Structure 1
Amino acid sequence: MNYTCICCEHFTRDEPHSGFDYEICPICFWEDDSVQNASPNSYSGANAVSLNEAKMNYQKFGVSELRFLQSVRKPNNLQKNDEE
């Protein structure tokens, strides 16, 4: 994994964000979306919360939305970012 999730910033992507692949991050459960990537305060798109709200949720709860709490996992050593 060479690229980071736009929400949790862990290395979970094999390719850079295109916004059109709708890949779901296994760490925070953010679904990549071109509308929300370009407009981080937007609530329209693949996710029920804005990208900025998802980032705050990840900092507080370890997940982009609380409803996905049972679906996520901690990053492994290769996926961790420089801040960990």
Structure 2
Amino acid sequence: MVENSRKRRRIIGQCEEGKPQGAMGKWPCARAEMQVKQWFGVVPDFIITLDAECCRACGDAEFMVPRRARALPRRPRDGCIR
């Protein structure tokens, strides 16, 4: 498992546009778009990626509670930020 953190904050999810973005040329962009189509059948408006370890450790209610944009506390030993 690779720890995903930035500025001492654990990243538990991200959202990005479904269509490949960035400084890619036409060929790499077309390949990335084809891969997204193979995964989902279409190019979605957005792709949401969540930390599977945190999702596994959280209960349903805990998982669904919206978080405000703030510095998150260090994660406890069970792996999920509360």
Greater RCO (CA < 8 Å, at least 6 residues apart): 2
Structure 1 or 2: larger strand share? 2
TM over 0.5: no
TM-score by length of 1: 0.20
Bigger-Rg structure (1/2): 2
Greater fraction helix: 2
